[in-house]
Structure 1
Amino acid sequence: MATLWIFILTGAVIAFFWFSRQFAESAKQHAERQAERLQVQLLSVACQKRRLGILRSGKPGIKSQFMFEFSSDGETVYQGSLYLENSHLLKSDIPPHRIS
């Protein structure tokens, strides 16, 4: 019976890692779209928070917050935030920035 629990736990950890990678790729795509829409240069995307929770749809899933850095003039760096539920973008916070 203990072996079964070890397999279940190992499978859960692998699944969490696999889904986390998918959501990170999704966040990168969302950040690229935001940068393209704002006509700025995307510099980096990083995960700030990730947790299991109940999504707005009522189903269990992973809630994530990603930070992305961008530059509008090549000298100044700004940080925006993306809030995702699984791979769906809920909202984005983009700070005021210089338009070149």
Structure 2
Amino acid sequence: MATLWLFIIIGVIIALFWTSRQAAEAAKGHAQHQAQKLQVQLISVACEKRRLGILRNGKPGIKSQFTFEFSSDGESVYQGTLHLENSRLIKADIPPHRIA
């Protein structure tokens, strides 16, 4: 019985790790899309918050908040925020920035 619980715990840990990696890859793709749309240079993407929760569709999943840095003129750096549920983009907060 203890072996069964060990396998279940290991399976849950692997599933959480896999889902969080998928969310990170999706955030990078969403940040690149936002940078192309705004015609700015993407500098970096980083995870700020990650937690388990009930998503908008009623299922359990991972809610994440990612910060991405971008530059519009090569000198200034701005930070935008992406809110994801699993790998789905819910909201993107883009600060006002100079247009080169």
The TM-score bracket by the shorter chain reads over 0.9
> How many angstroms does 1:65 deviate by?
0.4
Shift of 1:7: 1.0
TM-fit CA distance, 1:85: 0.6
1:53 corresponds to which letter in structure 2?
A: G
Report the Cα distance in structure 1 between the residues aligned to 2:20 and 2:86, rounded to whole angstroms. 9
TM-score, normalization: structure 1?
0.97
1:29-83, CA deviations, whole angstroms, 9 ceiling, x for partnerless residues? 0000000000000000011111110001111111000000000010111100000
Partner of 1:44: 44
SS in 2 for 1:48: strand
Aligned partner of 2:89 in structure 1 is 89
Give the Cα–Cα distance (whole angstroms) in 1 for the partners of residues 75 and 10 of structure 2.
45
Cα displacement (A) at 1:8? 0.7
The number of residues matched between the two structures is: 100
Query: Using the alignment, how far apart are the partners of 1:62 and 1:55 within structure 2?
Result: 8
> What displacement does 1:6 show?
1.2
Q: CA RMSD in A?
A: 0.7
Which runs of 5 or more residues in structure 2 are unaligned?
A: none
Partner of 1:73: helix, strand, or coil?
coil
